[in-house]
Each structure stands twice: as C-alpha cells, then as structure tokens.
Amino acid sequence: MESTIYPEFVGIPSSGSSHIHLTYDGIYLMIMSLRKNGSEISSVCSYDYLGKIFYIINAINEKEQSEIALNMTMDELEKKAEEMTNRRMKARHICKGHHNRFHAVWHHTSSPRHFIIQAGFLTDILLKDIQQGERGYYPTCLQVYRAINGTSALIIWEKGYGVRYRIQNGHSLSGLLEEMSNSTLYPSTISILPRNKSGTKTTIYIVWRGSEFSWYDKNIPISERSNSFAHKKKEELKMAVERQATPLNSYRIASISKTITAMGIVELVNEGRLDMESNVSKKTYEQYIQESVFIPNRIEGFIGKSERVNKEVCYYSPDNANPYTYWMPFRLDSAAGWVMTAEQVRIKMREDEEKREVKYKSGGQSLPLIGAREVWSIPASDEEKFSQTQLWQRIAVMNVGEDGSLFHLGSLAGSEGIAYTKGAIQVSILTNVRGRQQNVQTSWMEQICRLIAQEGNK
C-alpha cells in the first residue's frame, strides 16, 4: 500500500521501504541513495512536528524514474499537472501536507492515460464515485484529511478498461480486511482519518481494485440468433453512431474561447474601464461577455458547466476523455469554456474581421487589437525580449496566416476546431473527436479554410 502523510497516515509498501522525519535537504539525499539501490519514489508528503516541517517518502523497487514536486499551492499544482501531462508523465501520487501545501510524484510512462485530480469535501467526492466508475475511471490515490470547514479528500481518477474497484471505510482494520477476505480485489491505497478532539473514532479508508479486463485467453461469446439481445443492441448502436450532425449542434470550442475573451478585453478598453495593468471583476466573466460582446453582435453561446446541455454533441477520443472530465471545469471559462454552433463562431469571426484594424493606445504606442503579423512572426525563443504589453498581445490575439487571414485553433479532449476569417469570407469548422494529442486535425482544417477563402474572395 502507499503512504500519504505521517503521522496521520500509515503506509505499508508491498515491496520497498518507508523513510520518515526527513528534512527538506535530506529528501534529495535519500532519493539519490535509494536510486543507487534500484528503488524509486512512489509517494511523498510533509508534516509539522513541534513547529518544524519534516517529510516522509515511500520507495519501491523499479527501474523507471519518477519526478517529485514539493510545497506547491493549488494553482501551482494545476500548472504542474498540465506541464507533466504535456511531457507524457503520469500522476502517481499527490498529498496535501503542512500549511495546505501539496506534494506530488510523477511517473514516466510510454502510454499515459487520461486522469482527473479531484480535491474537495469527502462527501462530494464519494457522490462522484458512481459517475466516475460509469465513465471507466478508477481511483489510484486517496487522501482523507480534516479541514476547518469539514472532512476533505484528494483523489486521482485514472482511465482504465474494465478495472473493478471499491472504496471501503470503517473503524477496524481487521474488520475491513475480513470483509474482503474472499474478494479477488487487492488493496492499493490506505488513508486514515484520525479521531478529532470531540472523540470521534478513527476512520480507515481503503481503495481495493482488480486487474484490467482483457479478452486474452477468454472465449468471445457469439450468438447466432438474429433477434438476440446483442443483435438488437448492435443495431441501436449503429443508429446512434450514424446520427448526422446538423448546423444546430453545439460544440465546446476549446481555445477559440480565448478570442472571445480578447473581445471582452477590447470592450473594457473602449469603455475606459480598463488599462492593461488593471484588474476589473464587478461582473462574472460570462455575464460581461454576454452583455458587452454577444448581445450587441447577435452572437449566441454559453459557458459549459459540468455536463452537456441542449443540443450539444457527444465527444470522442481514444481514452474516452471529454471536456467535462477536466479537473475543475470552471477554470476553463475564459480559455476554453464556450459552447457554440459553427454558425455562431462564424458570426463572431465576422465581427473580428470588421475590427481587425482598430487600435488602442498603450504607453504612447499604438497597437492593433486583433492581430499583427510582425508579432506572430517573432520566434518563441525571443519571447523574453517582448514588453509586457506585447506579451499580452501575443497570448490574446489570433494567428496571422501566410495568406493574410486571421485564425485561431481549438483543441480540447474530444473536440477540435478552427475559426477563420479573410476579407468577406469567414469559416468555422468544429468536430467532436480528437486524437491522442491535440491539433491532430487542425492542419487540414486550415487548408480547407484557405481554399474556401480563395474561391470566395475572387
């Protein structure tokens, strides 16, 4: 089993060792020593003892190296999770330690799977248990701890294929083990919630899980009856898959949302309520965009919350991930939160085309609001030479194509798209499928947009 935090949590590695009461410097010395002996870090956390901070690490015998990150805030943990995902590294263990600081272990893997990191009240996480299981996720790490406003937990859900699991809790470890004595599942994680000052009992949480399902060495059942249950379901599935998309279907437009955010910033600048260094938050992001950008320009769209709504499409990707399995969906609002039809994205691009030459003043310098070829042609390696205003412009504006067009790509789990404009022609392509990596389809999308623009602008 994997350890999380000492002394509130106890770990018993199946093959390896635990090391407690380490100083910050001592952790790295211990890691070097363990690696020389063929061991690798499986978990790390911290605790406060007599006013001093100490660390605990667990190690197991394996060859593939892990990386650790210590003393992170929640925001830093989110950024680190995104970075590690891009590097094709798997979140092996995350722990909340002293002073609300997070510690994580990341594992190199050749085939990373989609994972969700969830933190919050324990009751909310357990309510999500059924939903995550139905989506094919299983818990790989669980930590339960007391917070000021209630019992909280941190859990990692990983995408699996037929992995059975159970989250078990009780007050007697021997009783819990006895209950599962005839089960084929094995214990993977244990977390202990100590009793509090009011005298509540210590509660033990154990995550049990089985092996991933495989057809290897199994007989595949085949029915010869045309009216069999399997045959009927197969026909129903064909009907569902063959359902044609229509212009009324809406999609998560992913990073194309950033161009909408830029339009909102433009309106704030025009209203004199914002300069590039100020912070304005008197309305919610969605409310301001709807009132200042969408309604005046007759654009329709809404922010995706936690589930698909209205005529929004289903999403498909190799690991069954979709825009709503993101760790904290509300954090995507300004960067990738909008749900729109392709027609509404086209209308938005027409508005951008009409205002592409509008400029604003910043520090005595006149800069375009929408796009500038010279900014986008500067190599990324020279970014440190940009002023802060130019950096903002590089992030917020759209790509400038070689043909003089403006476009922006969108790529999110289960969705890819492009918003494109050149002269009198605006094109939007939205899809509800994405490959194992982002921007798998956007290259051909841009080619199609250019061909349409060439014909339309003749």
- Digit-coded pLDDT (tens) for 309-324: 878 888 887 766 777 7
pLDDT digits (tens, 9 = 90+) for 189-213: 888 887 776 667 889 999 998 877 6
Q: What is the mean pLDDT of residues 323-337?
A: 74
The rounded mean pLDDT for the chain is 77
Please give the residue that has the higher pLDDT: either 161 or 337.
Answer: 337
What is the mean predicted confidence (pLDDT) over 327-333? 69
Q: What is the pLDDT of residue 279?
A: 58
Share of the chain above pLDDT 70, in %: 75
Confidence of residue 428 (pLDDT cuts 50, 70, 90): very high
Interval 58-68 mean pLDDT: 83
Q: What is the pLDDT of residues 253-296, one digit of tens each?
A: 888 888 888 778 777 777 777 665 565 657 888 888 898 889 98
- Do residues 392 and 420 make contact, with C-beta atoms less than 8 angstroms apart? no
Is a pLDDT exceeding 60 seen at residue 397? Answer: no
Q: Residue 228: its pLDDT value, please?
A: 56
Q: Which fold has domain 251-456?
A: Beta-lactamase (3.40.710)
pLDDT at position 340 is: 93
pTM: 0.52
Is the pLDDT at 167 greater than 60? The verdict is: yes
pLDDT at 85: 76
**Is residue 419 scored above 80 in pLDDT?**
yes
Residue 366 pLDDT level (bands cut at 50, 70, 90): very low
Mean per-residue pLDDT, 52-74: 86
pLDDT tens readout for residues 15-59: 678 888 899 989 889 988 988 888 888 889 888 888 889 998 888
pLDDT of residue 357: 62
Q: Which residues have CB under 8 Å from 153's CB, separation 6+?
A: 119, 120, 121, 122, 125, 142, 143, 144, 145, 191
* Average confidence (pLDDT) over 379-393: 40
What would the pLDDT profile of 104-144 be if each residue is shown by its tens digit?
A: 998 887 666 777 888 888 988 888 787 787 777 888 889 88
Q: Which residue has the higher pLDDT, 452 or 224?
A: 452
Whether residue 458 is predicted with pLDDT greater than 50 in this model: the reply is yes
Report pLDDT for 89.
83
What are the structural domain ranges in the chain?
A: 16-209, 251-456
Please determine, for residue 400, whether its predicted confidence score (pLDDT) is greater than 60: yes
Q: Write down the pLDDT at residue 243.
A: 60
Q: Cα(156)–Cα(64) distance, rounded to whole angstroms? A: 21
